[in-house]
Amino acid sequence: MSTVVTEEQIEKVVVESLETFGADPEHIKLDATLEALDIDSLDLAELSQIVHEQFGVELKGSDVAEINTVDDAVKLITSRI
């Protein structure tokens, strides 16, 4: 029996992770840039680890380098499931 992961579940994990990294919850929107949320490369590395643990999706450095917005992160993870 496989578990279906929805885009909403992925978005929830991404948003909660960004909050733990110090991003202001009021500013975390799908179109928000990671730069505007003050998310740095170390935060993205940690997000990659969380995504791997939660969903079994491995994100490489080149993948993470292409993430500019919250939506980019959600869509990339969704495409790998």
pLDDT at 5: 85
Looking at residue 53, its amino acid is E
* Closest to 47 (Cα-Cα) out of 4, 7, 10, 79: 10
pLDDT score recorded for residue 1: 40
CA distance 16 to 14: 6
DSSP 56: -
- List the chain domain ranges: 7-80
Q: Are the CB atoms for 57 and 51 separated by under 8 Å?
A: yes
Angle at 44 between CA 40 and CA 47, to 5 degrees: 140
User: What is the tens place of the pLDDT at every residue in 31-61?
Assistant: 999 999 999 989 999 999 999 999 999 988 8
Over the Cα atoms of the chain, what is R_g?
12
CATH number of 7-80: 1.10.1200.10
Q: Which residues are designated catalytic? A: 40
Q: What is the pTM of this model?
A: 0.89
